[in-house]
Every structure is written in C-alpha cells, then in structure tokens.
Structure 1
Amino acid sequence: MTPKEENLPQCARKKLRFTLETSLDGHVRAELKHPKNLAMITLNTNYMLTWDWDQSSSESGAVNFTTQYVAKYKLTSKRLSKKKSPVWITACEKTWRRSCDLTKFSLYYLGIYVLRVQANVNGDVSAWEQKEFCPDTDADLGPPNKVDLSPAGSDLDVFISDPVTSTNISMKENHPELYYHVVYWERSAGQQAVGTQTLDSSANIVTLPNLKPWTWYCVRVQSRYDYYNKKSIFSSPHCMQTEGATPWWQIFMYFMASLVTTFLVILLPLYSCFRCYKTLKETWFPSVLLPTPIQYLWDSTGYDIPRLVSPESDSELLCDRVTVEPLLHILPPEAVPAPLSCLEPDSRHSRQDSSGSGDSGVYSTGGSSGLRQPNTSHSSTLAEVFDLVQVKIQDMAPGLKAQHVNVDEGIVDMCV
C-alpha cells in the first residue's frame, strides 16, 4: 500500500481497491482520462460508434482504444448474484481511430446493448466509458433506395424501392408500418417550384393525379415510421414531363419514320440482291450475241471457243463431192419430137442395157414395140434438164457453186 493510500479513509481505500480489481489489466492511473461523448452514427442497420478524446492526456505516448459490447440483459442482478461476470465481445481492439464499426456484428434490431470504450497509453489504461444502444429506437431510418418516374398519360407513376439493411433486406421487415411521404411540384421555366403538393402512401407504386399535360413535374420521397417518430432525409429530386393527346403531326412523323425504317431494313437489302444478280447475269450470260460469221464458224467447227479458219484449210473443211442423180421427165405424146431419118455423126446416144429396156426416159405412145433412138433435139432436152438441176441446187445452197458437171456420170463437184 502506498503512502497516499494510508492517509485515505477506509471506505476510500476499499473503493480504490475495487476499481483496481475490475480494471482490464490491474494497472490504472487516475491522471489518464477516459474517452468522452460516446455517440452512434446509424442508418437503417449500419452502426458506427464514435467518441472524443483529450489529446493532452496522451502527450507521453501514442494512444489506442478498445471497444466492447454486451447485451444488456446479461448484466442483470440475477446473473450477478451467481457470481458470473458477463462476457464482453471485443469489436475493435487497440485501434488508433476514434470510431468503431459495429455493422458486421449484426446486432439484433429489437435488442438493447451496452457499449464501452477504453483508452490505452504505453500500457496504462483508462476507465471504461459506457453507452446503451437500442437499434429499434435509436437507429436512423434511411430514404428510399431508389425512386423512378414513368408517364401515365397526363399523370405520373412513381416507383419507390424500400430502404434496405446492410444485408439488402427491406426495412419493412423491421418496421412493418413504414410508409412514404411524397412531395411533388410543377417546375417552371426558371427552375422554381410552383404549386407544391404532398401525398402519403405505403405502396411502392404511387400515381400522382390531376397533373397538367405536357408539363414538367419534380418529385422527392421521404421514409417515415410514426411509432418512434422516425423520418428519413428526402431523396434527390426526379423530374419528368407528363404526356397528353398525341398531335396529328407527331403521328405523321411516326408513320414516315416507320416507312423509312421498313425501306432500309427490308427493301434496300432486297434491291441490292437483285442488282447483284442482274450484274452477274449480264456478265456471264450477255444478251448481245456474236456476229453471224463468227457464230457460223463456232457452230461448224464444233469447238466451244470460236476461231478463224485459215485459207489453206478451206478446200479441206468446206469442199466435198456431191452426187447428183439426173431427173427423168416423162413427156406427153404431143411433146415427143418426130423421128429423124438419120443421126448426126457427133450426136450422143443414150445407153441401153442388154435386156433392151430404154434408159432415155422417152417413151412412144403409138403402140410400137421397138425403142426410138434419141435425136439431136432429145439430147438438147436432156442438157436442159441437167441445167435445171444445177439451178435448183444453187437455189437451195447459195454458197455452193458447181465447178464441173458431168452429164453422163451424174457427178457434180461443188465448193463454197
């Protein structure tokens, strides 16, 4: 016992001894001050404990802090009577920050907790500073998580998303009577609020009635819970223009836009395909045919590729022997000339076979069994017949010409 403790009264010495026994490590200095002004910064289920500290108390060294918590019901007299000290849960240990985040410990929303903070300087610790905390009553309520607007004719639909906890669960799980306070106004040309109106609703979709068509309106929403008089801050303003009856010029513009879109999406690709097909067809199958001479040479040679014929091969490719059979004309009786008493020495006679049948083609109608010998006029008539055959052949084939005609043999040499 120190000399100071000897001079103290007995009750004061007992109180000092009790303080030494309940300290964290058994070493406490009266001059080391404890943290002050413990406060909670909360939003839905996000909790942050903060405190103040007198910097002059830690001039001799660096300071760090330890934060603990425990459920309040564990500190009741019934448990203390059994001489069982409560188990404090350390949330932050020896941290230099003047705050401690308790969100990750998922404190029960309807529970009551006792929080305490202690300072530590060079192994010397201060007394604990305590604070009670109940999330249901002390935690602040946050604004809607999201607010969207959608036109509904001349009205506006407001889509409100519930505020959420740290685990993305709706706050309506903790506050079933939560509702929304909607404030909306008409936005003027100078960005000024005109005719502010309010609306309360617990639904997540709210329709703002009696709005002017083709007018800009702005909306902001606040979360409220009346049991503990909780009110959140307002959400940021969202603005949108209402709609109305569609004018005729706008309908016409939509129609023209649809036509242009249809042309670009459907007709233009079809037209491009048609042009490509036509170009390929004209390239590989042209409508302009080859000239007649070249076409003739192509067909006569039998080759796929046209070529010119050399002059040396004209007689071989285009000349051939043509056999001409003489035509026999049966003359009527009156056309047969009278027989001559004698024949000219150089006249040519028709050939007869051994059977005595005539081959001259002239027959008698007087009933005589003998054959008449051809005379000069008969030979001239036969020459005229061959001339007629030659003329008919030239009519049938203008490109052919007879080089030599042998009447007796009936053979004609023909060339182009």
Structure 2
Amino acid sequence: MYPPTPVYVLVCLWWLSATCGQAELAEPMNLTMITMNTQYMLSWSHDGHQTIGPKVSFTVQYLAKYKWTNGAHDQWVTACDKTPDTCCDLTPRKLYFLGLYMLRLRANSGRLHSKWVIKEFCPDKEAALGPPSKVDLAPAGPLLDVKISDPLTSTNGSMKELHAQMYYRVVYWEHTDTRNPDTKIVDTRVNMLTLSDLQAWTSYCVSVQSRYDFYNKSSAFTTPHCMQTEGAVPWWQVMLIFFFSGLVGFVGLLLLLCFGVNCYRTVKDTFYPSVQLPAHFEAYLSDLSPGSDAPRLLTPDSESELICDRLSICPEAVLLEIHMSPLPSDLEPDGRSVHSRQESGGSGDSGVYSTEGSSGPRQHSGSGLSSACAKEPWHGESPALPEQVKMEHMGLKHEAAAAHRGLRDEGIMDMGV
C-alpha cells in the first residue's frame, strides 16, 4: 500500500488548478465610458466569446474612491451581475456628478473568473456636455429673437445647475444657396438673445452650441433653424388690407340688415297680422260670459263646469221639402173650375161638402183639412213628425192666400209632396 498523501500536498494541488483555470479566461479590454450630461455607460471588449465551454458573462462593480483609498474593499456595489452584454448602464445608480468613483470589471465562465480590471471615473470631468434641448426663433420686426432651452439631465433637470459657468455659442448666417455662407458668432450666458444686425424681409439660419471652458467641454451644434425677418409694411399692402377689410365689413352689414328685416317681418306677421279675423269671430272668441259656448279653459273651482256621466249624440232632423204643384189647366185665372159639373143637372154641387151629422155652416175642404191639422191633436202612437208640421204650416199659408184673393171654394186644390 501507498502511504497516505499529506494534506498540504492536496491544498497545493487545488491552488495550482484554480490558478491555472483563472489564467485560461481572458480579461476584458478597452474599457470606455460613453457619457452625455448625467447618463453614463461602461463599454468593453473581450476575446473569451470564442472559448469552447460555458458562455462568458461579466460583472461590473463600483466604489467611491475615498472608500477604496481607505481600504474598504468589501463595500463594492454591483451594478451589472453576470450580464452577457459588453456594456453596463450606470445611469440608474445616480452617481454623484461631482464625485470620483472606482469601477472594476471581470469575466465569468462557469466556475472560472478572470482578473478584475479597474478604471477610475470622474463624471464632472469626463461626462460629455450635450447641446441645448430646444432652440426657438421668432421675428421681431427686422430683428430675430432666439430662445435657448438648457441641456437636460437624466432626471429632466438643467445642466446649468451642475455647470454654473456654462454658456452658449450662437452661429447665424443669411440663408442662401452658397456652400460657404458668411457666418457670424455670438456667445451668451442667457437663454433669450436678440440678433439685431439683420436685414428686413430676409431669411436667416441659426445653430447653437453648449460650452464649458473649465474642462474644455463643447457640445455638438443643434440642427439649423431658419426664419424670415419682418419690417415696415409697404403702403400698397396697407391700402389692400384696408380695402378688403372694408369690403368684408360692408358685406357683413348687408347680411345683418337682411337678417334683421326678415326677423322684423316674421315678428310683425306673427303678432300683428295684416289679415284680421271677421268681427263676429272676434266677438265670439272674446265672449267670456258663463252662457257662451266659446272655447276657454275651465278652472277647477269654476261653477260652470258640467260633469256628465253619459254623453249621447243625436243626429240632426232632416226636414222634407214640399213642392206645390201648379194649378190645373182646367182652372181659369180667377180660380174657377171649368168643370162646374153643370152636367149634373144644375144641382148646384160645387164641390162643397157638408159636415157629417152637423147643421152648421159648410166648410171648405182645403180649409177643413188645414184646420183639422192645425187644431186637432195627434192621437197616434208617436208624436207628430217635423215633416207633418211643415205640411200643416204650408196648408194654412195657402188657405190665407186664397181667402185674400177672394177665391170661392168651388175647385179642388191638389198638393204634391
């Protein structure tokens, strides 16, 4: 049997294997800070992506430099843990802009780790300065107003709060087709600038740059903005504007007058119509006496209101017309009949009949009928009809007319209904 292996020999072998394994994993290279105002991103490159085995990942940590100097190496803060990307965004960590930090980075592949690569970072010195967030132009007669908005931080704050000495360089030129226009430069620390050495009714272009001389920082220029200046309005333009204004006002006045006339006529025809109601219609509608049948509203306490349980509608009675037949052709104009019944032997029968069972004076047949209708009441089952009453009335009128003309009761009168 072999003697047992000493413990220290095993420890040495483990250390050698770990050291050799770590040496096989390459370190990250080309560490670069990509910054803009308060946005920070660490970028690097690595050759370990071609290594056969587990996929390579990276770990990024940061620590304030004063802590690192004091030996507090156990207070590193991890910003990106085992990320497969070759960049790490440090903006969410909200690093103090005027502070100084130590950054370290290593590669991971399974249980293998590369050495830490350390980089120092000072945001105030290394962070790039961005251009103005917005530039607006506005004409002011022959002048041009330029409004500049400050660059913004990651929390939408102004970079002037971090760079108090920051200023702007304004470059402007006349907008022409030439490739190399004559440019003019103005530096200002205010956000509102007026360009005065300009010509009226001329187009100019403006571009602005942010600058900070302490660390010699300068941003890129903004996209050129172009605007035309104004000036005194020519007299012909004033006259043209005045003419069109007067024309529009005149047309508007005519339309207003037409509308007013139509409204006046409508109101007048409604409340004061030219065609009035007849006098008897007005009297009928204005009659408010209790016995009047004019339409009106009845109040709840009105005594004239009649409440009926049942309503019956009776048709209107129709009166028959009675036509008097013409006199017979055998009557003479004086009312005497040519048929005097002389052939009866001169008995003197002239059509007069005596009353049955009476010795009184003889009555005219027509008058007897009329008198009987006028004086004798109706003994039937139903009362006299309106047609019968009308016939009786007309018989009486005919008898009176005959008596007035002196006609004798010698003829027979026929009535046709």
Q: TM-score range by the shorter chain?
A: 0.5 to 0.7
Partner residue of 2:84 out of 93, 96, 100: 96
Partner residue of 1:30 out of 18, 23, 28: 23
Q: Does 1:74 align with 2:58?
A: no
Match of 1:173 in 2: 161
Letter in 1 for 2:236: W
Q: Does 1:275 align with 2:268?
A: no
Match of 2:114 in 1: 126
**SS at the partner of 1:104?**
helix
Match of 1:227 in 2: 214
When residues 253 and 94 of structure 1 are mapped into structure 2, their CA distance, relative to the original with a 3 A threshold, is: farther
Letter in 2 for 1:73: Y
Shift, 1:209, TM fit: 2.0
Using the alignment, how far apart are the partners of 2:112 and 2:224 within structure 1?
52
Letter in 1 for 2:110: N
Kept after mapping to 2: 8 A contact 1:58/1:121: no
Using the alignment, how far apart are the partners of 1:283 and 1:214 within structure 2?
60
Q: Does 1:52 align with 2:39?
A: no
Match of 1:65 in 2: 58
Match of 2:147 in 1: 159
Match of 1:383 in 2: none
Q: Which moved more, 1:266-275 or 1:147-156?
A: 266-275
Match of 1:218 in 2: 205
Q: Does 1:42 align with 2:1?
A: no
Shift, 1:185, TM fit: 0.6
- List runs of 5+ in structure 2 lacking aligned partners: 1-7, 288-417
**SS at the partner of 1:29?**
helix
Q: Could you give the per-residue CA deviations for residues 309-342 of structure 1, whole angstroms, max 9, x where no partner exists?
A: xxxxxxxxxxxxxxxxxxxxxxxxxxxxxxxxxx
Shift, 1:94, TM fit: 1.6
**SS at the partner of 1:194?**
coil
Match of 2:274 in 1: 287
Match of 2:129 in 1: 141
When residues 171 and 303 of structure 1 are mapped into structure 2, their CA distance, relative to the original with a 3 A threshold, is: closer
Kept after mapping to 2: 8 A contact 1:142/1:232: yes
Using the alignment, how far apart are the partners of 1:2 and 1:276 within structure 2?
118
When residues 29 and 186 of structure 1 are mapped into structure 2, their CA distance, relative to the original with a 3 A threshold, is: same
**SS at the partner of 1:30?**
helix
Using the alignment, how far apart are the partners of 1:260 and 1:86 within structure 2?
86
Letter in 2 for 1:164: L
Q: Could you give the per-residue CA deviations for residues 249-297 of structure 1, whole angstroms, max 9, x where no partner exists?
A: 333444456557767989857854653453243255432446xxxx355
Kept after mapping to 1: 8 A contact 2:210/2:218: yes
Q: Could you give the per-residue CA deviations for residues 42-93 of structure 1, whole angstroms, max 9, x where no partner exists?
A: 01111111111214444312222111100111121xx33xxx5340011111
Using the alignment, how far apart are the partners of 1:261 and 1:128 within structure 2?
82
Q: Could you give the per-residue CA deviations for residues 73-120 of structure 1, whole angstroms, max 9, x where no partner exists?
A: 1121xx33xxx5340011111211211111121211121111111211
In the TM superposition, what are the counterparts of 1:296-307 in structure 2 within 5 Å? 296-298=279-281, 302-303=284-285
Letter in 2 for 1:156: L
Letter in 1 for 2:215: Y
Q: Could you give the per-residue CA deviations for residues 199-240 of structure 1, whole angstroms, max 9, x where no partner exists?
A: 111111111121111000000000111111101000111000
Kept after mapping to 1: 8 A contact 2:49/2:55: no
Match of 2:192 in 1: 205
When residues 282 and 200 of structure 1 are mapped into structure 2, their CA distance, relative to the original with a 3 A threshold, is: same
4+ residue segments displaced more than 4 Å: 1-6, 256-271
Using the alignment, how far apart are the partners of 1:37 and 1:45 within structure 2?
22
Q: RMSD value over aligned CA atoms?
A: 3.2
TM-score, normalised to structure 1's length? 0.60
Using the alignment, how far apart are the partners of 1:3 and 1:208 within structure 2?
82
**SS at the partner of 2:24?**
coil
When residues 217 and 193 of structure 1 are mapped into structure 2, their CA distance, relative to the original with a 3 A threshold, is: farther
When residues 269 and 32 of structure 1 are mapped into structure 2, their CA distance, relative to the original with a 3 A threshold, is: farther
Q: Could you give the per-residue CA deviations for residues 324-382 of structure 1, whole angstroms, max 9, x where no partner exists?
A: xxxxxxxxxxxxxxxxxxxxxxxxxxxxxxxxxxxxxxxxxxxxxxxxxxxxxxxxxxx
Q: Could you give the per-residue CA deviations for residues 115-138 of structure 1, whole angstroms, max 9, x where no partner exists?
A: 111211123221111211101110
Aligned length: 279
Using the alignment, how far apart are the partners of 2:252 and 2:108 within structure 1?
76
Match of 2:314 in 1: none
Letter in 1 for 2:22: R
In the TM superposition, what are the counterparts of 1:232-381 in structure 2 within 5 Å? 232-255=219-242, 272=259, 275-283=262-270, 285-289=272-276, 295-298=278-281, 302-303=284-285
Match of 1:407 in 2: none
Kept after mapping to 2: 8 A contact 1:162/1:170: yes
Kept after mapping to 2: 8 A contact 1:155/1:243: yes
Match of 1:184 in 2: 172
Using the alignment, how far apart are the partners of 1:265 and 1:109 within structure 2?
65
Shift, 1:5, TM fit: 6.6
**SS at the partner of 1:219?**
strand
Shift, 1:159, TM fit: 0.7
Kept after mapping to 1: 8 A contact 2:65/2:102: yes
Letter in 2 for 1:129: V
